Amino acid sequence: MGSFARDRLRRLEREGGTVTLVCQECGEEFRVSEDAGPALVAYQWQQETGAISYQRTPKDVFTILEHEHGASALVKKATGESWPLTMRASGIVGLTE
């Protein structure tokens, strides 16, 4: 194992690993980092409000947004919980991460 791979593993551990999501519409699975949930919420909030963030948006966020069924069709494979949040007409009601 080269030093690059070791560094990458260490980084994944520090970031808390990954979560597997499954699309309720088509069954496609996505493995994303756990911090993609909060990052997706932050990104969507920025889009709605026009707020500017200097935090980097993880690649996983765009992977999900580019999926034809979007984030609202995704649930956690392990638990069936909606991810990363429950969208209601009133807005964001809660994070599941």
Site residues (vs Zn ion, CB under 5 A): 23, 25-26, 28, 69
In sequence order, the β-bridge partners of residue 21 are 30, 76
CA pair distance 57, 14, nearest whole angstrom: 18
CB nearer to Zn ion: give 9 or 26: 26
CB nearer to Zn ion: give 7 or 25: 25
What's the min distance (Å) between Cβ of 38 and Zn ion? Answer: 22
Contact predicate 46/24, CB 8 Å: no
CB nearer to Zn ion: give 46 or 65: 65
